[in-house]
Amino acid sequence: MFLNIKKLDAPQAITIDSLYNLSSEILAPPDLLVQGRFYYRTNSLAKGHPYLISNAFTLGKVFIKDNSFADVPLLIDLDQNEIIMRYEINNAVRLVLLSESSFDSIKVFNFTFLSKKMLPSNFNISFPQLIYDGSLKLIRDYDKDFISMYNNQRPFGSYSDLRSKLIVISSEKAIPLRRKKSLYQLTDNIKALRDLMEKNKIKFRKASDDQLRLIMQLIDKRS
């Protein structure tokens, strides 16, 4: 069960009909969330799984314009680039796909992920985690693939390890951050950037999200 926070906070007269309608909204997924397509996993016998971080449903929050839906059980399939929602109604479990054309972002695993519609359409980005949001945006894009190589250990194929890459979004440009020197093209004050990283003992390849935000705040201030 998940809650549409905006609708439940709104005052309304309670009648038998309104109570029935409200319970239907709580127990069934609102049209805003659902494309109407059921989810079917491909290559289900392959070694590994196609999901982000965990192959178990995790409670998250979905944001759609002025609406937010809390406690939504979510699963993220990186091979199909789909977000799956699990819900139960009348003792039956349904796995349906979230409508990417309508949702703006989701929060799960304490990360915020953007819908691709929030980014320029010419960007080749699979599933963007928002790390920093200012005049520049910093995202981490996640990816997994099905590997169609078969042997005794993997008779049904396998899924790749989780991969990620950092990308800075500047106006209509996507700038990959592959190494520390990639940061230098974002600022005129390279010395200040080096000093910040040295003072906070930041190693670019091992930098946490908090450390990356610190770097982006400096760059944003001086860009």
186-222 pLDDT, tens digit per residue, is 998 899 999 999 999 999 989 999 999 999 999 988 6
Structure token digits, residue 59: 């409670």
Residue 167 reports pLDDT greater than 70: yes
Between 24 and 67, residue with greater pLDDT: 67
Q: What's the rounded mean pLDDT across residues 76-104?
A: 83
Q: What is the mean pLDDT of residues 16-22?
A: 44
Q: Does the pLDDT at position 3 exceed 70?
A: no
Q: Classify residue 120: in a domain, yes or no.
A: yes
pTM: 0.78
* Cα atoms in the Cβ-side hemisphere of radius 13 Å centred on 120: 12
**Please, how many CA atoms are within 13 Å of residue 92, restricted to the half-sphere of its CB?**
5
At residue 118, the pLDDT reads 78
Interval 102-130 mean pLDDT: 84
Q: Are 57 and 73 in contact (CB under 8 A)?
A: yes
Task: Give the mean pLDDT of 9-27.
Answer: 46
Please compute the mean of the pLDDT values over residues 105-126 and round it to a whole number.
Answer: 83
In a domain, 208, yes or no: no
Q: Is pLDDT above 60 for 146?
A: yes
Residue 41, domain extent = 3-177
Check residue 199 and give its pLDDT: 95
Q: Is residue 214 part of a domain?
A: no
Using a pLDDT cut of 70, give the percent of the chain over it.
81
Residue 199 to residue 203: CA distance in whole angstroms:
11
Going 3 to 33 to 172 to 192, the CA torsion angle's sign is: positive
- Average the pLDDT over each of 15-24, 119-128, 152-161 and give the range with the smallest value: 15-24
Position 110 in a domain: yes
| pLDDT digit string, tens, across residues 27-76 | 455 565 655 678 888 899 999 999 999 999 999 998 888 888 889 899 99
d(CA 16, CA 18): 6
Binned at pLDDT 50, 70 and 90, residue 149 comes out as very high
Within a domain: 153: yes
Question: How many of the other CB atoms lie within 10 Å of CB of 139?
Answer: 25
Give the integer Cα–Cα distance in Å for 56 and 186: 38
Q: Does the pLDDT of residue 1 top 60, yes or no?
A: no
CB 58 within 8 A of CB 73: yes
CA–CA gap between residue 39 and residue 59 (Å, rounded): 18
Cα distance between residue 60 and residue 109, in whole Å: 8
Does 217 reside within a domain?
no
Q: Closest Cα partner for 211 from 221, 222, 198? A: 198
Q: What is the 3-state secondary structure (H, E, C) of 100-145?
A: CCCCCEEEECCEEEECHHHCCCCCCCCCEEEEEECCCEEEEEEECC
pLDDT of 99 above 50: yes
The C-alpha atoms of residue 164 and residue 140 are separated, in whole angstroms, by: 6
Q: Looking at the domain assignment, is residue 213 inside a domain?
A: no
pLDDT band at 172, cuts 50/70/90? confident
Could you tell me if residue 126 is inside a domain?
yes
Question: Structurally, how many domains does the chain consist of?
Answer: 1
In order of 106, 110, 112, the CA distances from 58 in angstroms are 12, 11, 14
